[in-house]
């Protein structure tokens, strides 16, 4: 191909009109839903050299609109927003743009967080955060008004019909309305009433753009519910049968409080399900008749060891399926978004490809802060088959390349290549040293000795006071060794290489912490002593030695975002339960309460005289209360861990009513669901990872190997200059420093071309793509069979003779 035609292709003719016009575009009638093409938009190639400035201008506007809509489609694809919420008019567009930027998202998030945090200050409040009623009620009203404003923007963007059809938004609106009224009531009465509805506040948080992961988790939990509930019923059914049996067998024993009535019997067996009262519940019966243990062994074997595991199996199985389906629908949604965007970028003259000009226009909307050079390189990375035009097939890879960070591949191996000879040799030596096995193992040895040293030292001190006041010599010695190691590694590998490895980052931060701890010790800053105790974390480095640990820890890091979102989901459940708990159980338990319950001991607080000292013997359980939201969270965590949870339950029950148990049992079942899903998630993720590395025979054993996605593209000098030229003159982009830098770098390097590398870390989606390779092809085929795009219909119409005939009017 000649250079001139190539440039021509790359730029796209400036007079070329888009094939399909954006729906935001008001100048031209838009394409209607059926994909029928309007004849107004026909191809007219103005005679070159005599462009009509007015037509040129409107044409440019039309393109800009197209770029924007394409960018919106791609965003929708990325965020998994359904297309029925796609803005349909210029009117909607402005609202959409207003509601879709990080400033708005942050506002949304902050409002929701503020609303949730209010419960810290509302009665029953955390003591040092207590606010007067009129202050927190006003704050709440303000936050709710903000939420209302956000909903207003959404209404404007979605239009009334879509708005009321969007379930989540409708629920949010109703909750908002309710909260508004209640807040006003509180403000008027100047006192809080029983506001259980505060438990609904997390809905505002869940609806935030940034909480998409939490929404997905919740959806997954609800999808796993039906089979879960089935098995739960089986569980409860056996429980009831055994309760009747237990009542019949053991109620004759007056020393046995656990089975004295049918209700007690059911509660005891429910608690036994969690093992929390285990040998105790058996003991009275066991002491009377040794064979009665069979009842309990059978019950636990069936319920705990069989049905509970069945629960996990069923959830795990559902989870597996749901994960795959979710991946599939996301993938197909993205594909569809790409197709929509592609149609908008096509020009009349070259209807099967997108030129750099159009792509650049799109990217300016899609990633406003991307440099011109990166836009150009991304375009180059996408065009595999043809170097000047993007086909739809190329464009399908859009989401794979969009996150790449571009960098010129270093011509030399080391960062010190350009230094003078002597320095080079020194650094080279260091490099070889820190890369050598001997050095690594020496460091492992040091870490191991350090670990043993810490253990011995701690064991010898054994009163826990003296160690904080002097700086032990060993501390300084080991810290020096670690410091030297860090410095050697940074200089030997170069800071960039050093900090690109997660393990090195870990080393670095632990060493820095240890150093801070030393300073804290030396200057006797007591509140920072806790840093010192983080020293043993150094020992974690030992786990690099073994393949499996690296695998585990890598997977852990990969899982971290999902784990965090699951944790957040759990916190949302906690929040709702904490509010309900506070409304009903605040200030209910106190030292020496619950005297007429079976768990009075755990609440007892008495002074005992031992010898000549008076010691306070405490039951402590009064601390597990719902007196404020922080205490409630701790109490709920204790309930999650399950052990001894019945003490809290029985204590509160004895001070309130029997129905209190319902709260605790519901909480137990809810956390059981969430916890089972967390377990299923961890299981699934690990088994997936292991299958993946087995299937792909991934080496995974080079600890320094940066596992990531790498794309490479070569740019020749002439190409670079032409692109610069094109950008300067044709596209009218102003900020070209990145491209200019590239040209300068090319010139300076002395080579005729330079290879650029785009890197990004690997995501779960990349792994899934590889795992489901074959299935994905099937999905695509199925998708293109069942889902013949309106755009494709349109295409065929365009190609057909009738369409061509009708095109000749304008």
Within 256-285, which residues bind a copy of itself (CB under 8 A)?
261-263, 275-280, 283-284
Three-state DSSP class for residue 18: strand
Min separation Cβ 590 and a copy of itself, Å: 14
Residue with tokens 């902050």: 110
Min separation Cβ 623 and a copy of itself, Å: 6
- 447-454 contacts, C-beta under 8 A, 24 or more apart: 447/538, 447/539, 447/541, 447/542, 448/539, 448/542, 450/474, 450/478, 450/538, 450/539, 451/536, 451/538, 451/539, 451/542, 453/478, 454/535, 454/536
Q: Does 330 bind a copy of itself (CB under 8 A)?
A: no
User: Which region, judged by CB under 8 A, interacts with a copy of itself, from 133-141, 502-510, 525-533, 651-659?
Assistant: 525-533
Min separation Cβ 309 and a copy of itself, Å: 4
Min separation Cβ 333 and a copy of itself, Å: 24
Give the helix ranges, DSSP H, for 251-307: 262-273, 278-288, 293-300
Q: Of 114 and 117, which CB lies nearer to a copy of itself in the complex structure?
A: 117
Q: Does 234 bind a copy of itself (CB under 8 A)?
A: yes
DSSP 8-class letter at 709: E
Q: Does 620 bind a copy of itself (CB under 8 A)?
A: yes
Q: Of 313 and 721, which CB lies nearer to a copy of itself in the complex structure?
A: 313
Q: Does 466 bind a copy of itself (CB under 8 A)?
A: no
Binding mask 236-255 for a copy of itself (x = CB under 8 A): -x--xx--xx-xxxxxx--x
Min separation Cβ 691 and a copy of itself, Å: 8
Q: Does 477 bind a copy of itself (CB under 8 A)?
A: no
Q: Could you tell me if 776 and 331 are in contact, meaning their C-beta atoms sit under 8 angstroms apart?
A: yes
Q: Exactly one of 552, 662, 744, 745 binds a copy of itself (CB under 8 A); which one? A: 552
Residues whose CB falls within 8 Å of the CB of residue 236, separated by 6 or more in sequence, listed in order? none
* Residue 354: strand pairing partners: 390
Q: Does 513 bind a copy of itself (CB under 8 A)?
A: no
Min separation Cβ 640 and a copy of itself, Å: 9
Q: Exactly one of 687, 744, 745, 755 binds a copy of itself (CB under 8 A); which one? A: 687
Q: Does 744 bind a copy of itself (CB under 8 A)?
A: no
Q: Of 322 and 679, which CB lies nearer to a copy of itself in the complex structure?
A: 679
Q: How far apart are CA 804 and CA 670, in angstroms?
A: 63
Name residues contacting a copy of itself, limited to 33-52 (CB under 8 A).
Answer: none
Residues whose CB falls within 8 Å of the CB of residue 147, separated by 6 or more in sequence, listed in order? 111, 112, 115, 172, 176, 204
Q: Exactly one of 6, 114, 232, 304 binds a copy of itself (CB under 8 A); which one? A: 304
Give the helix ranges, DSSP H, for 90-132: 90-99, 102-121
Rg (CA), the chain: 34
Min separation Cβ 289 and a copy of itself, Å: 12
Q: How far apart are CA 681 and CA 513, in angstroms?
A: 33
Q: Could you tell me if 277 and 246 are in contact, meaning their C-beta atoms sit under 8 angstroms apart?
A: no
Q: Does 792 bind a copy of itself (CB under 8 A)?
A: no
Q: Of 236 and 402, which CB lies nearer to a copy of itself in the complex structure?
A: 236
Three-state DSSP class for residue 610: strand
Residue with tokens 């961890």: 682
Min separation Cβ 536 and a copy of itself, Å: 4
Q: Residue 386 is inside which H or E element, if any?
A: none
Q: Does 467 bind a copy of itself (CB under 8 A)?
A: yes
Q: Does 703 bind a copy of itself (CB under 8 A)?
A: no
Cis before 638? omega within 30: no
Q: Does 546 bind a copy of itself (CB under 8 A)?
A: yes
Three-state DSSP class for residue 405: strand
Residue with tokens 């000009």: 357
Name residues contacting a copy of itself, limited to 151-210 (CB under 8 A).
Answer: none
Min separation Cβ 625 and a copy of itself, Å: 12
Q: How far apart are CA 29 and CA 628, in angstroms?
A: 60
Which tokens in the block code for residue 187? 């403000």
Total Cβ atoms within 10 A of residue 143: 23
User: Which region, judged by CB under 8 A, interacts with a copy of itself, from 2-10, 31-39, 504-512, 684-692?
Assistant: 684-692
Q: Does 683 bind a copy of itself (CB under 8 A)?
A: yes
Q: Exactly one of 310, 433, 496, 522 binds a copy of itself (CB under 8 A); which one? A: 310
Q: Could you tell me if 491 and 430 are in contact, meaning their C-beta atoms sit under 8 angstroms apart?
A: yes
Q: Of 690 and 788, which CB lies nearer to a copy of itself in the complex structure?
A: 690
Q: Does 621 bind a copy of itself (CB under 8 A)?
A: yes
How big is the CA angle at 762 (ends 758 and 766), to the nearest 5 degrees? Answer: 105
Name residues contacting a copy of itself, limited to 418-457 (CB under 8 A).
Answer: 454-455
Min separation Cβ 283 and a copy of itself, Å: 4
Q: Of 229 and 476, which CB lies nearer to a copy of itself in the complex structure?
A: 229
Residue with tokens 């080393």: 507
Q: Of 320 and 391, which CB lies nearer to a copy of itself in the complex structure?
A: 320
Q: Of 6 and 231, which CB lies nearer to a copy of itself in the complex structure?
A: 231
Q: How far apart are CA 624 and CA 651, in angstroms?
A: 10
């Amino acid at each position: 191909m000649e250079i001139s035609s190539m440039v021509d292709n790359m730029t796209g003719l400036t007079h070329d009109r888009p094939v399909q016009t954006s729906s935001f575009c008001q100048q031209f009638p838009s394409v209607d839903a059926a994909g029928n093409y309007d004849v107004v938009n026909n191809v007219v190639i103005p005679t070159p050299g005599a462009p009509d400035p007015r037509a040129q201008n409107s044409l440019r506007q039309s393109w800009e609109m197209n770029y924007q809509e394409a960018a919106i489609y791609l965003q929708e694809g990325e965020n998994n927003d359904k297309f029925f919420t796609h803005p349909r008019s210029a009117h909607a567009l402005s609202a959409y743009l207003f509601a879709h930027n990080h400033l708005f998202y942050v506002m949304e998030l902050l409002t929701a967080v503020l609303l949730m945090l209010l419960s810290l200050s509302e009665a029953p409040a955390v003591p040092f955060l207590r606010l007067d009623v009129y202050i927190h009620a006003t704050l709440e009203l303000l936050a709710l008004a903000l939420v209302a404003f956000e909903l207003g923007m959404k209404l404007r963007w979605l239009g009334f019909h879509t708005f009321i059809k969007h379930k989540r938004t409708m629920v949010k609106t109703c909750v908002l309305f309710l909260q508004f009224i209640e807040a006003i009531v509180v403000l008027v009465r100047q006192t809080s009433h029983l506001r259980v509805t505060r438990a609904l506040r997390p809905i505002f948080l869940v609806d935030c753009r940034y909480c998409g992961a939490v929404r997905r988790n919740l959806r997954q939990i609800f999808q796993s519910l039906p089979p879960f509930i089935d098995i739960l019923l089986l569980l409860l059914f056996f429980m009831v049968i055994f309760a009747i049996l237990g009542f019949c067998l053991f109620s004759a024993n007056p020393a046995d409080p656990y089975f004295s009535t049918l209700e007690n019997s059911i509660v005891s067996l429910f608690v036994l399900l969690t093992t929390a009262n285990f040998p105790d519940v058996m003991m009275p019966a066991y002491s009377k008749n040794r064979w009665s243990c069979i009842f309990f062994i059978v019950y636990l074997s069936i319920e705990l060891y069989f049905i509970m595991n069945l629960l996990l199996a069923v959830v795990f199985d559902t989870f597996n399926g749901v994960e795959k389906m979710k991946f599939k629908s996301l993938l197909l949604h993205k594909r569809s978004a790409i197709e929509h965007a592609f149609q908008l970028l096509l020009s009349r003259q070259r209807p099967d490809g997108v030129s750099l000009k159009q792509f650049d226009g799109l990217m300016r909307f899609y990633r406003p802060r991307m440099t011109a050079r990166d836009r150009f390189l991304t375009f180059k990375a996408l065009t595999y088959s043809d170097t000047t035009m993007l086909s739809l097939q190329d464009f399908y890879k859009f989401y794979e390349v969009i996150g790449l960070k571009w960098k010129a591949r270093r011509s030399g191996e080391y960062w010190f290549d350009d230094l003078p000879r002597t320095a080079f040799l020194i650094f080279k030596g260091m490099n070889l040293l820190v890369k050598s096995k001997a050095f690594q193992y020496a460091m492992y040895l040091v870490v191991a000795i350090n670990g043993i040293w810490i253990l011995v030292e701690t064991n010898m001190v054994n009163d826990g006071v003296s160690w904080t006041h002097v700086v032990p010599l060993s501390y300084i010695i080991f810290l020096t060794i670690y410091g030297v190691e860090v410095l050697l590694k940074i200089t030997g590998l170069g800071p960039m290489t050093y900090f690109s490895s997660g393990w090195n980052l870990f080393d670095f931060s632990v060493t820095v912490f240890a150093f801070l701890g030393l300073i804290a010790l030396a200057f006797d800053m007591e509140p920072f002593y806790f840093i010192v105790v983080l020293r043993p974390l150094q020992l974690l480095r030992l786990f690099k030695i073994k393949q499996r640990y690296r695998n585990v820890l890598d997977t852990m890091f990969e899982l971290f975002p999902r784990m965090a979102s699951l944790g957040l989901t759990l916190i949302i459940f906690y929040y709702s339960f904490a509010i309900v708990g506070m409304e009903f159980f605040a200030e209910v338990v106190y030292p020496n309460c619950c005297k007429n319950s079976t768990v009075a001991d755990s609440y007892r607080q008495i002074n005992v005289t031992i010898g000549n000292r008076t010691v306070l013997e405490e039951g402590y359980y009064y601390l597990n209360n719902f007196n404020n939201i922080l205490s409630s969270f701790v109490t709920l965590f204790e309930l999650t861990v399950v052990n001894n949870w019945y003490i809290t339950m029985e204590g509160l029950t004895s001070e309130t009513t029997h129905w209190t148990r319902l709260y605790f049992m519901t909480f137990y079942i809810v956390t059981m669901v969430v916890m089972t899903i967390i377990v299923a998630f961890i299981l699934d993720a690990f088994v997936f990872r292991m299958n993946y590395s087995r299937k792909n025979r991934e080496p995974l054993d080079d600890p320094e190997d940066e596992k990531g996605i790498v794309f490479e593209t070569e740019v020749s000098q002439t190409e670079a200059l032409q692109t610069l030229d094109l950008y300067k003159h044709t596209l009218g982009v102003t900020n070209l420093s990145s491209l200019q830098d590239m040209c300068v770098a090319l010139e300076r390097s002395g080579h005729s071309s330079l290879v650029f590398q785009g890197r990004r870390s690997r995501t779960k989606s990349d792994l899934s793509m590889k795992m489901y390779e074959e299935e994905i092809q099937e999905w695509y085929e199925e998708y293109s069979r069942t889902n013949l795009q309106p755009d494709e219909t349109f295409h065929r119409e365009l190609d057909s003779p009738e369409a061509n005939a009708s095109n000749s009017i304008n």
